[in-house]
Every structure is written in C-alpha cells, then in structure tokens.
Chains A and B, each alone.
Chain A
Amino acid sequence: MALAADRSLAGPSTRAFGDKLARGLFFAATSVGLIALGALLYTVISQGAGQIDMPFIRNFASRIPERAGIWPPLLGTIYLMILVTMVSFPIGVGAAIYLEEFAPRNRFTSAIETNIANLAAVPSIIYGLLGLAVFYRSMGLGRSLITGALTLSLLVLPIVIIAAREALRAVPQSVRLGALALGATQWEAVYKQVLPAAIPGIMTGAILGLSRAIGETAPLLVAGAAAFVAFTPDNLLDAYSALPIQIYDWVRRPQADFQALAAGAILVLLAVLLTMNAIAIVVRNRYGRTR
C-alpha cells in the first residue's frame, strides 16, 4: 500500500535512504550560509584584531598606515546616530500613531500605507540621490553632517513607521476601550495607556532601523560624505566622515596595510552594531514581559 502512493518502484529501504540523502543535502545547503558567515567573521577578526588599540581609535586618517586612525569617522557615525534618531523617531512614531489609532479607513489612508511599503523597498542609493538633489544642492547644505543625517533619516523612516505600527497593533483593544470608558479622550487613551504598553516594541524597531542606517555607505557617499576630514565635526554644517565611508576608502587601496586598517574599522563597526542589537534584545525581554 505504501508503495502505491509512491510511483517509483524502489523498496522501503531505498526510499528511506533517499530521504536521508535529501535531508543531508538540505542540511548542507543551510550550512553554506553559516560557513560563509564564519569565514567572513574569521577573515575580519584575523586581519583586524591586531589593529585595534588606543591610537587607532583616537588618531586621524593618514597616508601612513601606522599612524592612521578612525577618530573623525567614529565621531561622525555617533553624531549621525543621534541626529537620525532625533529626526526619524518622532516623525515615524507620530505617523504610526496616526495610522493605527486615528486614521479613518479611506482611500487616502490606504494610499499612505502603500506608499510606506514602497518606500521601504527603494534601494538606499536612491535616497542618496534625493539627499544630493534636495539637501546638498537645493537647500544649499553642501557636504555637511546635517545633509547626511537628513538623508539617512528619510531612509529609516519607513522602517520605524512599520515597526511602530506593529508594536501599537499588538496592544490589546481592551486597553483602549477601558480608558475611553473611563472618560479619557482619544489622545489621553493613546498617550497614557497605549503608548506605554507599546514602547518596548517601538524601541526595538527603532534600534534595528538605526542599526541599518549606520551601516549604510552608498547614500552618504552619494550625498557628499568626505573620505578624509582633518578635523572632527563640531557643528551641523561641518564636513564629516563616517565609519562605512572610511572602510570603503581603505578597502579600495591596493596595499595590504590599508586592507588591515579596513578590517580594524569593520570590527569597530560590527561591535557598534552588535551592541545596538544587544540593547534591542534586552529592551524587548526586560519590558516585554511586564505587559
């Protein structure tokens, strides 16, 4: 009977063997990705770990590999993180609250929703061209920190909105109804009841969006980040560099010394990313349970 279902004439033992073989193949396919990740991390660590010391962190870029460091790009990345959060977080959460809690179900709302889904899929280099045309040129902000920050803010905006909406949607309806029944206005219900319950989810999404932003190279490069700055930026209109830009600049050079510097800078960038992801996980686990 069992054979009737299987059109092949193979006996049960052959079929079992075929099944084992398939299992092995599927497992092998899965391990390719894992092995690649291992090889990537191994390459970066073996080349870059020796680079990391205090002078490497605190020095400026230099033509002489032994003296080169990542201080201005590291600061640039940190400033960008702060500015991007300041711009994209309030607008993104505001948009999410509107769409989840206030928006009427009509064509305009669904147009906004489709629009956000499309924006999330636009390649990052297109945002670079937007930054170049609008912030760099039309608004005359030039090769400045604020140009880069605004460009990246627009890039992560759809990610923040989508994450915040999911967090808001996860808050049970009874929370809203309870507040409204006690005479709260709609905004009071959202602000005092729904938002506090959704904040861990919103934070997690925002941090993940931000960690995508700080790894981005192309939009900054197109919108005018500098590969070499001789000073640290101290106002919004100063020229700036960022870690990914510095990595790109070093990777392009043929000398092995600069490749090693690139690996060192990659390690620092990955460490920043890892820290942010760890914070996201902690926020989710710590505040997620109390609900």
Chain B
Amino acid sequence: MSQIASSSSPFSARRRPLERVIRTSLFVCAAASVLVTVGIIYSLFADTISFFEEVSISSFLTGTTWSPQAGSYGVLELVYGTLIITFGAMLIAGPLGIASAIYLSEYASPRVRNVVKPTLEVLAGIPTVVFGYFALTFITPNLLRSISEGCGIFNWASASIVVGLFILPTVASLSEDAMRAVPRSLRDGAYGLGSTKLRVSLRIVLPAALSGIVASLILGISRAVGETMAVTIAAGATPQITLNPCSSVQTMTAYIVQVAGGEASTGSLQYGSIFALGSTLFLMTLVLNYVSIRFVKRFREAY
C-alpha cells in the first residue's frame, strides 16, 4: 500500500492542494495518539516528582506501612494487596484458562466451540463494577462463608475469584488461538506413532503453543494488576500484609479511587500520592506488556 502511496503522491499532491491538506490532517490524527502518551507521562510524573520532594523515594519504595493520616507512605503494603489478589486470580485463571483452551482447541467439535467460545468471552465484556457486586452478593455470602463462616464481607479471596473469572476468557481465548495455530501435521505425526489425544495435547500442542500461552498469562497478570472496581468493592480498604484470605486488603488502584472520590485538596500530599501510585502502576504494566511482546517474538515457533 505504501509503495503505491509513494509512487503516486508526488504528482497528485502537486496537482491538488486538497490532497496535501487531507494527508496532513490524517497525519495529525495519527500523531494525536502520541500526544495521549505524552499526556499520560506528563500528568503522572509531574505530580509524582513534586510528591517525592516531600516523601523520599526510598521510604516510599521500601516502607511497609501505608498510613497517609500518620504521614507514612510505604507502598509495599498496597503493592502486596495488588500482588496477592493477582496471584489468587492467576491460580484460577491460569489452570482453568489453559484447560479450557485445550478442550476448545483439541476436544470440542466446531459446533460446540462456536457456541462456547463467544459465550465465555461475554464474561470479559461485563463491566468490572458488576463483578464487584457479584463478589459482595454471591461469592462471599454463598461460596466463601460456606467454607469459612467467619469470613469478613470484604476479603481478598472473593476479589481474587472475581478477577480470576474476569481474566479467564482472555487467557482461554488467546491460548486457544495459539494452540489452533499449531499445524495439523505435528498432531498427525504423533497420532501416527500411536499417541492418545491427551498425550498429543500435552506433549505436542502445549509445547508448540507455549509462547502464545505465556503471553496470554502475562496479559492476564497485567489486567489483574490494573483492575480497579472489582477489587475496590470486594477487597475493601484496609491496607495490610496478611495471608488470611478472609481479611480485607487494599490495592494500589483501590486507594487511588478512595482518594480521588473523596475530597483531598489539590496539591496536598495525599493527592500527590495517587499520582505516585499511578506511576508505579503504569511502569509495572508497561514492563509486563513489554515482556509479553518480547516473549511472543523471541519464542514463537515458525512453521
């Protein structure tokens, strides 16, 4: 396409000024996306830098007490909340997602797959505030309290479960795409040697599709880290480092919502802290996405 563009445009552009005007305005549209990135970086880092003039970076990054009222901004307590929920979510979405992908790609008939896959993807299209509602009115009272009666209404187990359900379709769908891209001849070769379907799935298809599967898992982690509403509603607002799945934790995103939804005044330390958290979050997801893209490029098997 671009070859045609470069061979015809010198003439047409000279003949018709309109052509050049249109081309320029289309270019401006494309450049606007760069402006968005610049805007994100500027708006996050400007306030983050002024925040770090008041609070030292090392006490922010290594402190384990997040208590803004007491002037203590140790981000690890919130990072812990984010990571433990992400970990729990991946315990659900990882195995279930990959198993679903194997079923859809290797076992299901085309008719079943054409119904099940889009239905599963509906889960990913449901607004996350609805998942928060689901955690509060179904998962905690009906599921968790039947296992452990003393479960608090806000707890990280329910947050993990709903975030896991939310990213399950992403993992399943992308892994399934990767498995279906494995050429038929590899499977046929293994069948010819007398392998069962299970063995073909686990020993041939799974390794061959590994780069795509890992990328889907990393994307799932990145989604879980940035997830906001479900964890704000389900996990509550108590920053603490605890392993007890029935107790409340606070994530980075939940704290941002709490402060931005409240009445913290512009320029206050609390207000600055949400931008410092936003920068931390932004860098975390950026690294995850970068790793995911590298992984696909580096380990993709070419057939």
Q: What residues of chain A have their CB less than 8 Å away from a CB belonging to chain B?
A: 1-6, 15-16, 18-19, 22-23, 25-27, 29-30, 32-34, 36-37, 39-40, 43-44, 47, 90-95, 97-105, 111-112, 115-119, 121-130, 132-134, 137, 154, 157-158, 161, 173, 176-177, 180, 185-187, 211-212, 215-218, 221-224, 227, 244, 247-248, 251-252, 259, 262-263, 266, 269-270, 273, 277
Contact = CB atoms under 8 A, between A and B. Distances in A.
Contact of A91 (B2, B29, B102, B233): B29
B195 A125 contact: no
Interface in B1-23: 1-2, 4-6, 8-9, 12, 15-16, 18-19, 22-23
B31 interface: yes
Contact of B129 (A129, A130, A180, A244): A244
Nearest to B284: A123
Interface residues of B, number: 97
Nearest to B226: A123
Query: Which 6 pairs between the two chains have the least Cβ-Cβ distance?
Result: A123-B226, A215-B127, A94-B29, A133-B43, A29-B99, A2-B194
Given A95-B30, A101-B5, A251 B40 contact: no
Main secondary structure of the interface of B (DSSP, over half): helix
Contacts of B275: 129, 133
B165 interface: yes
A251 B19 contact: no
B225 to A, nearest CB: 7
B89 to A, nearest CB: 13
Interface string B29-51: 11111101101101110110000
Nearest to B275: A129
Given A33-B96, A102-B27, A130-B43, A23 B33 contact: no
A176 B1 contact: yes
Given A125-B256, A129-B275, A221-B260, A34 B137 contact: no
B36 A119 contact: yes
Contact of A27 (B107, B172, B232): B107
B133 A247 contact: yes
A128 B260 contact: yes
Contact of A112 (B30, B44, B103): B30
Nearest to B16: A185
10 contacts: A18-B196, A27-B107, A37-B119, A101-B5, A112-B33, A129-B274, A185-B12, A187-B12, A217-B129, A218-B232
A137 to B, nearest CB: 6
Given A102-B27, A133-B46, A133-B275, A217 B127 contact: yes
Contacts of B299: none
B126 A270 contact: yes
